[in-house]
């Protein structure tokens, strides 16, 4: 009898343990589901937070830039008047007939033809082919002969390989384009064309995505032309390629107080502006392709005037 009672008691204990185990097992999926739901909620909130931060970041970044001239636009002319910087005004007071009616920046696609731009591009390419910076930015100055080569500059007119590289027709094309730009500057800024002079440096530029090696390759720093080149009073840039077609990146950026204004290069597009602090600017880094342009600038100081380049520059003996 006692054995039967012991067995019954033992069975009751086993049944109780089984019930407890079953209860625990039945509650585990619920707990796992709850934990899973909590984890998903937390993950969703984290993803949403980062998404919002990304939107805010990129939106605020884009808000700092306004496109002043799109590559897709064919502009007869588009200008923006800016307040002349005091230092620019003070310097120009010394030169009669050279003070602009307004300090500004102006962009037009109607001064230089596509044919002329292509001819200048051909001149630039055959000259730059003999050089090439170790970094991403190379220049060719037809006036001084300066050509980027590795980490330094050489005189292209002293290179035997350049002896028959340029002919008089090349220099004639360059001179015609320069004259058209000079009279465009005189017209749009209201100055006497006989009071502005071509000045040094005037050069072709070739920019790629190659990593910078020397300080001369770091073209993307904001700067003021008048402070970099004291002779400059009017700066012009003629683009020899198309943004987002021939290269990516490489927009020209005017740095203004509220937001920056960008000029997207277009082949034969001419950009001109007063060279003072009112037109602080930089060029975006080129991310792919090759960006070609030519910088042609003018001074009011005839002591800084330079002659047009010619075939007589060659110095090969």
Rounded to whole angstroms, the Cα distance separating 144 from 204 reads 12
- Reading the block at residue 198, the tokens are 């071509």
CA count, 13 A, side-chain hemisphere, 193: 11
Question: Is 21 marked active-site?
Answer: no
SS3 string, 203-239, reads EEEEECCCCCCCHHHCCCCCECHHHHCCCCCEEEEEE
Whether omega before 201 lies within 30 degrees of 0, making that bond cis, reads yes
What residues have CB less than 8 Å from 160, skipping those under 6 apart? 316
The half-sphere exposure of 141 on its side-chain side, counting CA atoms within 13 A, is 17
| Selection from 303, 309, 245, 262 nearest residue 105 by Cα | 262
Residue of 105, 251, 266, 291 with catalytic role: 291
Active site residues: 291
């Amino acid at each position: 009898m006692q054995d039967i009672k012991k067995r019954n008691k033992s069975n009751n204990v086993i049944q109780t343990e089984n019930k407890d185990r079953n209860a625990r097992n039945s509650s585990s999926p619920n707990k796992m589901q709850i934990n899973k739901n909590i984890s998903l909620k937390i993950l969703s909130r984290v993803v949403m937070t980062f998404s919002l931060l990304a939107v805010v970041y990129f939106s605020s970044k884009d808000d700092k830039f306004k496109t002043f001239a799109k590559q897709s636009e064919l502009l007869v002319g588009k200008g923006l008047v800016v307040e002349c910087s005091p230092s620019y005004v003070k310097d120009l007071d010394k030169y009669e007939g050279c003070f602009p009616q307004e300090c500004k920046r102006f962009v037009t696609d109607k001064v230089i033809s596509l044919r002329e731009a292509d001819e200048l591009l051909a001149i630039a390419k055959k000259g730059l082919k003999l050089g090439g910076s170790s970094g991403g930015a190379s220049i060719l100055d037809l006036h001084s002969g300066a050509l980027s080569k590795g980490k330094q500059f050489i005189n292209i007119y002293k290179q035997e390989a350049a002896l028959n590289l340029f002919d008089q027709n090349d220099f004639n094309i360059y001179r015609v384009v320069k004259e058209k730009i000079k009279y465009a500057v005189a017209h749009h800024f209201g100055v006497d064309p006989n009071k502005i002079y071509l000045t040094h440096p005037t050069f072709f530029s070739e920019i790629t995505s190659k990593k910078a090696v020397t300080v001369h390759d770091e073209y993307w720093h904001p700067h003021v032309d008048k402070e970099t080149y004291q002779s400059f009073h009017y700066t012009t840039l003629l683009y020899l390629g198309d943004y987002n077609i021939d290269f990516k990146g490489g927009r020209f950026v005017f740095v203004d107080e509220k937001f920056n204004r960008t000029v997207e290069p277009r082949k034969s597009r001419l950009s001109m502006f007063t060279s003072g602090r009112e037109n602080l600017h930089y060029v975006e880094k080129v991310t792919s392709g090759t960006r070609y342009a030519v910088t042609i600038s003018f001074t009011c100081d005839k002591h800084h005037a330079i002659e047009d380049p010619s075939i007589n520059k060659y110095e090969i003996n």
